[in-house]
Amino acid sequence: MKLLSSLLFVGLLSGCGNSENNLPEATPCQDRVAIVLVAHSFVQGLCGCEEAGAPVTSGTFTCTIEHGSAVIFHLQGSSRSHQILSTGTPGFVSTPLLGSAGPEDDRKKSHTTIFAEPGTYEFIDAFLPGISGKIVVQ
């Protein structure tokens, strides 16, 4: 499992480019930044979440961060569209459509949200039924 996570992480690093379509060029695991991988069949915290980084294939994904931290929702290798939708109160601005139809270079693959206030922020992926998530901000 750790090998798979390491391979996914290395794969993400090899695709760094502009911040519109890929992860930032800076080292992804920075203080007060969490990276949440959204894929065809799972959601996974790559770094920055207090919880271990095992992929969640059903049920609820949880990522605990400090207030003022950023969460980067990153689409990984999926031909399907994904969109993270805030479902509770407090709420956050939902992501735009990630991986929407069009040439690969024109697809938005990452979206960053800053969580300034403590609380539990619940979300779903509009295109990944069976998995929900929450960002717990301390």
pLDDT digits (tens, 9 = 90+) for 31-73: 899 999 998 889 999 899 999 788 999 999 999 999 999 999 9
Tokens of 38: 């959204």
- Domain positions in the chain are 2-6+28-137
Contacts of 128 (CB under 8 A, 6+ apart): 38, 40, 41, 43, 82
- Superfamily the domain 2-6+28-137 falls into: Cupredoxins -  blue copper proteins (2.60.40.420)
pTM for this entry: 0.75
Tokens representing residue 71 in the block: 């969460």
